[in-house]
Amino acid sequence: MKRSFKGLFYTPYILWLAMFVIAPVALIIYYSFFDIHHQFTFSNYRVFFESGTYLTMTANSVLYAFLITVISILISYPMALVISKLKHRDLWILLVILPTWINLLLKAYAFIGLLSHDGLVNNLFGFFGIPAQQMLFTDTSFILVAAYIQIPFMILPIYNSMTDISDSYIRASSDLGASKWQTLTKIIIPMTMPGIKSGIQIVFIPSLSLFMLSRLIGGNKIITLGTAVEEHFLTTMNWGMGSTIGVVLIISMVVVMLFTNTKRKGRRS
Amino acid sequence: MSNTIVELKDVYKTYDDGFTALKDISIKLNQGEFYTLLGPSGSGKTTILQAIAGFTEVTSGEVLFDGKRINDIPANQRQLNTVFQDYALFPNMNVFENVAFGLVVHNVKKAEIEQRVHDALKMVQLEKYATREISELSGGQQQRIAIARAIINRPKVLLLDEPLSALDAKLRKDMQYELRELQQQLGITFLFVTHDQEEALAMSDEIFVMNKGEILQKGDPVDIYDEPINHFVADFIGESNIIPGKMVADYQVAFLGHQFECSDAGMRPNEPVEVVIRPEDLVITSPEKGKIQVKVDTQLFRGDYYEILAYDEQGNEWLIHSTNATKDDSVVGLAFGPTDMHIMRYNESEAKFNSRLESYED
């Protein structure tokens, strides 16, 4: 009686898992073994690993995702540190999170308006006598805009792990003679490592497959794995190849998860 | 060679919201002594500790260390260390790394670090635990590691913020002995904060009793216990029977309609006073032999004594500690001698209290 009741609560989770996690992943793997003529084949994988195009694309994607992640950590960490010390810190962190409620597409178009040849930034430059710059459709603008989009997702886990640190740790560190910098590097950063790691997990993987931003801000010059997937499914209709890239993305996700998994040998955050 | 190591001069601490945590605190701590700040929660004792450690700024007054003003010196440059109430052992480091932290941040050489950490762990009898994680330690062990970590820099003063409050009763008693022993072994000044009067009485050379941001009385444990300055101190330190009375003349006090010989003097004739009698100083006897008669209400067996609650004819409550039980609802007499009574004046300052005691004591 009690058992079946418990089973009732598990059902939604199991259904969710089956329909939205296991089934799609299985389908992607299944499709990755068929070519464009619906024939079973391993050629998709051969093409992926033999043609330089896909490997360069993968290398590019990883590089871009890495840069986006690093930049968002470099901005988010000090920001979280400052906000966690403020009086109304919950309000300030809410303001940082606020932009995530706005549609990604809207934000992308807003950046086009800002960065374009006749945009606000160039107008400002003109005001100071700096000639108009080509900013849209560059690597830099793509990486910066992507980092901007990802920062709220990076800052939140870091901020949470910071607010979990009791004041007495900081006091103890300073009491034992540590400078502010030593307290930061020896106490605060190690203790917020779990937050940094989950930030990386949340930011790095989606950054591998950004396609809307790479089109709108990167201007089709930047081809990441995400753009390739979109291209295969919507333009060339080569679902097999698209799925193969999907499988590669899933595997790299697992790899990142393994690397950033907090090894807890009895240590607690 | 009892020279002052820490001194607070006219220290006030007022928070932004107007709450005054410390009022006119002036204390002197000598080298090598065990001091206790004793008071209920919110009495300001931890604030004093934080002002000395450098975690809070005082609003006015001076904090002196070794004769030098340290008001503006940050905590990490003050040569004293703290044992925190929650121990604050770094969870990202093991026992060795925790204890070594104070040396590592001062760039001490590796060989010396190992030697000193070993010595510190030996001092708290945990030398075999160096490689353990903090989460693998019991509360008592964490407590010792926190002490080892705090003494690694060889501070002249160790501040202890209610370090025993998280331990169980048995362990707390053991740690009282150990702390006292450690303090004498190290020969440094301990400033111990507690709300537990038993801890304070057991360990201290000198106790500061605090309430509402003020120091009410300071003195050695026996003085504070035997001669509390006012109702609050008498009530807070140990258990006591406090009865309103009248000082008829020197060495003559009247209460409950009788006049008794006592050992206090120096008051105005017929001054209203309070009389303190400790429960263990009351002896139960027959109603005829007793100086006052009370009716027994309830008795509790406390292991080494019976705690007896009784009422006199005027309805005052009397607490008596007796090794023997007595009969419920029986009328018994209470006997006590002149030195068992302690007389307190209303609103007497500590300075006046002390000089009055000196005036008639040898």
Interchain CB distance below 8 Å, B82 and A171: yes
- Determine which of A164, A175, A185, A265 to mutate to test the interface with B (most B C-beta atoms within 10 Å): A175
Where are the domains positioned within chain B? 4-226, 238-360
Chain B residues 137-166 with CB within 8 Å of chain A:
149-150, 152-153
Q: Is B55 on the interface with A (CB under 8 A)?
A: yes
CATH superfamily of A51-260: MetI-like (1.10.3720.10)
In chain A, what residues touch B91 (CB-CB under 8 Å)?
A: 191, 267-269
Report yes or no: B117 and B54 within 8 Å, Cβ to Cβ: no
Chain A residues contacting B, CB < 8 Å?
Answer: 166, 168-169, 171-179, 182, 186-187, 190-191, 193, 265-269
Predicted local confidence at residue A227, as pLDDT: 86
Q: Is B74 on the interface with A (CB under 8 A)?
A: yes
Q: Is B92 on the interface with A (CB under 8 A)?
A: yes
Q: B173 to chain A nearest CA, in Å?
A: 25
Count of alpha carbons within 13 angstroms of residue B88, beta-carbon side: 25
pLDDT band at B362 (very low <50, low <70, confident <90, very high): low
In chain A, what residues touch B55 (CB-CB under 8 Å)?
A: 171, 175
pLDDT tens by residue, A32-62: 998 888 888 888 899 888 888 888 888 888 8
Among the partner residues B54, B76, B82, nearest to A178 by beta-carbon distance: B76
Interchain CB distance below 8 Å, A171 and B106: no
Three-state secondary-structure class, residue B6? strand
DSSP B138-165: -HHHHHHHHHHHHHTT--SEEEEESTTT
pLDDT tens by residue, A141-160: 889 999 999 999 999 999 99
pLDDT tens by residue, A63-120: 999 999 999 999 999 999 999 999 899 999 999 988 888 888 888 888 888 888 888 8
Confidence check: pLDDT of B1 > 60: no
Rounded to whole angstroms, the Cα distance separating B80 from A9 reads 56
What's the mean pLDDT in B272-283? 91
Predicted local confidence at residue A3, as pLDDT: 66
Strand partners, B361: none
Report yes or no: B171 and B160 within 8 Å, Cβ to Cβ: no
Among the partner residues B75, B89, B152, nearest to A174 by beta-carbon distance: B75
Q: Is B213 on the interface with A (CB under 8 A)?
A: no
- The ipTM, to two decimals, is 0.82
Interchain CB distance below 8 Å, B76 and A179: yes
**B271-277 and B258-261 strand pairing:** unpaired
Confidence check: pLDDT of A14 > 70: yes
Cβ neighbours of residue B129 under 8 Å, at least 6 residues apart?
Answer: B95, B121, B137, B141, B145
In chain B, what residues touch A190 (CB-CB under 8 Å)?
A: 92
pLDDT band at B10 (very low <50, low <70, confident <90, very high): very high
In chain B, what residues touch A262 (CB-CB under 8 Å)?
A: none
Classify domain B4-226 at the CATH topology level: Rossmann fold (3.40.50)
Predicted local confidence at residue B147, as pLDDT: 93
Interchain CB distance below 8 Å, A171 and B136: no
Cβ neighbours of residue A153 under 8 Å, at least 6 residues apart?
Answer: A100, A199, A202, A203
Q: Which of A206-210, B107-111, B304-308 has the lowest mean pLDDT?
A: A206-210
Confidence check: pLDDT of A217 > 50: yes
Interchain CB distance below 8 Å, A171 and B77: no
0.90 exceeded by pTM: no
Count of alpha carbons within 13 angstroms of residue A72, beta-carbon side: 31
What's the mean pLDDT in B80-101? 94
Rounded to whole angstroms, the Cα distance separating A143 from B158 reads 52
Task: Please tell me which residue of chain B has the smallest CA distance to A174.
Answer: B76
CA angle B318, B321, B326 (to 5 degrees): 85
pLDDT tens by residue, A222-269: 778 888 888 888 888 888 999 999 998 888 888 888 888 765 444 443
Q: Is B317 on the interface with A (CB under 8 A)?
A: no
Task: Tell me phi and psi for residue A185, to 5 degrees.
Answer: -80, -30
In a 10 Å sphere around its CB, with 0-12 CB exposed, 13-18 middle and 19+ buried, how is residue A37 labelled?
exposed
Interchain CB distance below 8 Å, A177 and B153: yes
Classify domain B238-360 at the CATH topology level: OB fold (Dihydrolipoamide Acetyltransferase, E2P) (2.40.50)
Confidence check: pLDDT of B163 > 60: yes
Query: How many CB contacts within 8 angstroms connect chain A with chain B?
Result: 77
In chain B, what residues touch A269 (CB-CB under 8 Å)?
A: 91
Predicted local confidence at residue A10, as pLDDT: 87
Where are the domains positioned within chain A? 51-260
pLDDT tens by residue, B261-276: 888 888 888 889 999 9
Helix (H) or strand (E) holding A216: helix A212-216
Kindly state the greatest CA–CA separation across chain A.
79
